[in-house]
Amino acid sequence: MPQSVGVGRLPVPGGKSGCPINLTVELLGDRWSLVVLRDVMFGGYRHFRELLTNSLEGIASNILASRLSKLVDAGLLSRHEDPTHRQKIDYRLTEASIELVPFMAHLGAWGSRWLPTSPELSIRAELLAEGGPEMWQRFMDELRAMHLEGRPQPEDGVLAELTRAYERARTA
Amino acid sequence: MPQSVGVGRLPVPGGKSGCPINLTVELLGDRWSLVVLRDVMFGGYRHFRELLTNSLEGIASNILASRLSKLVDAGLLSRHEDPTHRQKIDYRLTEASIELVPFMAHLGAWGSRWLPTSPELSIRAELLAEGGPEMWQRFMDELRAMHLEGRPQPEDGVLAELTRAYERARTA
DNA sequence: TAAACCGGTTGCAACTTACAACCGGAAGCC
DNA sequence: GGCTTCCGGTTGTAAGTTGCAACCGGTTTA
């Protein structure tokens, strides 16, 4: 067990004020933290190189490294050894970051509604928004199975559905 | 009419990718934008000095000025003359920023759950989270009346309820 | 007519971001 | 064995952003 999360609170430094919005912004309010979490959550990427080379926005390697270690320190990602390669590190979501799913859904829904998004990249956000809290719960349970219990991604799950919709739109 | 929002999309520069999460992060993912919107939305502050001197986190005046003009340019705030003082500027929410309410609710709920928040500052977030989508809609309608139509704050509304709960906790 | 208030601006130091090149160790392949 | 590729990063450097404090000209108030 790499970190004790899921029970108490996250080990973050106390900020400028104890306001929940302010503290969350202090933790996640930068150019890359949420984008990295998005790629782990929706892209299924768990390794450094995977995140680096599949980054749509072209994150730099030093920024990725600093964000990963910050997110690990904060308890939003956990580091695990990968049995296939001694140097490979498996970054997994924690209960705290899995519970960001409804937040990500709203973020995506608002962005799709108000910002000049590209159609193929909006599809997952729109499906997730339409699915509502019931779908978010299913997705969170799926992420718990994959990231907390180490199970493989189910073929008939929410993630597979979102990915298929994205692939369909991308190749069209 | 200072800006045409509520119908189309926001006039923001195209970003590194058309992903809705990325574009939203590019727009709001910094240390202060959401905190300023929070103060306008929940604090009821609409003037520069008011936002500056009541800022819990102590925002600097140059940062506040740059954020306000960025939010106005992006269509998340609108500028209005104040009849009581020729130099006074009334910053109001737009339809786009009012629709951030569910997002703010999740943000606050997540922060209250996972971060070391102070009790009196968490109360509004917790009430808003408990209230659910029905309360968010009522709050958004209230904000529309106040910020889009210029009506006074209702005494029996969501905002008054949240503010009373906060004052009660603060003085306790 | 002096004091307080209005939305900012300016100058400067410290910190953060972005880009590109590079690193030592581990695995795969012949 | 020995070459190549892959692994998670680090380093150097330039450009941009943030934070702080002092200050500004115009407006309203007492």
Say whether the CB atom of B73 is under 7 angstroms from strand C.
no
Residues 10-29 of A with CB under 8 A from B: 10, 12, 14-29
- Residues in chain B with CB shorter than 8 Å from the CB of A3 are none
What percent of chain A stands above pLDDT 90? 92
What percent of chain A stands above pLDDT 70? 95
Q: Which residue from A13, A67, A63, A8 is spatially nearest to A37, judged by alpha carbons?
A: A67
Q: What is the pLDDT of residues B137-169, one digit of tens each?
A: 999 999 999 999 999 999 999 999 999 999 999
A160/A115 Cα distance (integer angstroms)? 26
Those residues with Cβ within 8 angstroms of residue A25's Cβ, 6 or more apart along the chain or in another chain: B31, B34, B35, B107
Closest in A17, A31, A103 to B25, CB measured: A31
Does residue A113 sit at the B interface (CB-CB below 8 Å)?
yes
Contact B139, B158 (CB under 8 A): yes
Amino acid at B145: A
Could you list the protein residues whose CB lies below 7 A from any atom in strand D? A 47-50, 61-62, 65-66, 68-69, 79, 85, 87-89; B 30-32, 58-63, 66, 84-87
Q: CA B47, C1' C7: Å apart?
A: 9
Strand partners, B90: B80
Q: What is the pLDDT of residues A109-145, one digit of tens each?
A: 999 999 999 999 999 999 999 999 999 999 999 999 9
Q: What is the reported pLDDT for B5? A: 40
Q: What is the reported pLDDT for B14? A: 72
Pick the residue of B25, B114, B162, B170 with the most A CBs within 10 A to test the interface with A by mutation: B114
Of the pLDDT bands very low, low, confident and very high (cuts 50, 70, 90), residue A152 is very high
Count contacts between A and B (CB, < 8 Å): 168
pLDDT of residue B4 exceeding 70, the answer is no
- Residues in chain A with CB shorter than 8 Å from the CB of B107 are 20-21, 24-25, 103
SS3 category, A88: strand
Q: What is the pLDDT of residues B55-113, one digit of tens each?
A: 999 999 999 999 999 999 999 999 999 999 999 999 999 999 999 999 999 999 999 99
A166/A160 Cα distance (integer angstroms)? 10
pLDDT of residue B1 exceeding 90, the answer is no
Residues 20-79 of A with CB under 8 A from B: 20-31, 33-35, 38, 56-58
Q: Rounded to two decimals, what is the model's pTM?
A: 0.95
- Residue B7 CB-density burial (10 A; 0-12 exposed, 13-18 middle, 19+ buried): exposed
SS3 category, A78: strand
Of the pLDDT bands very low, low, confident and very high (cuts 50, 70, 90), residue B8 is low
The average confidence (pLDDT) of chain A is 94
Range in A153-162, B5-14, B47-56 with the lowest mean pLDDT: B5-14
Q: Chain C positions under 7 Å from a protein CB?
A: 5-11, 16-22, 24-28
pLDDT of residue B3 exceeding 90, the answer is no
- Structural domains in chain A plus CATH codes: 17-93 (1.10.10.10), 99-172 (no CATH)
Mean pLDDT, range A86-109, rounded to an integer = 97
Of the pLDDT bands very low, low, confident and very high (cuts 50, 70, 90), residue A13 is confident
Q: What is the reported pLDDT for B36? A: 98
Asked whether the CA dihedral B115, B130, B135, A129 is positive or negative, the reply is: positive
The pair phi, psi for residue B116, each rounded to 5°, is -75, 70
Contact B33, B70 (CB under 8 A): yes
Q: What is the reported pLDDT for A8? A: 57
Q: What is the reported pLDDT for A15? A: 82
Does residue A103 sit at the B interface (CB-CB below 8 Å)?
yes
Q: What is the reported pLDDT for B77? A: 98
Instruction: Give whole-number Cα distances, A110 to A76, A113, A114, in Å.
Output: 23, 5, 6
Q: What is the reported pLDDT for A108? A: 97
Q: What is the reported pLDDT for B65? A: 98
Q: What is the reported pLDDT for B161? A: 98
Pick the residue of A10, A32, A93, A107 with the most B CBs within 10 A to test the interface with B by mutation: A107
- Residues in chain A with CB shorter than 8 Å from the CB of B8 are none
Chain A residue nearest residue B113, CA to CA? A9
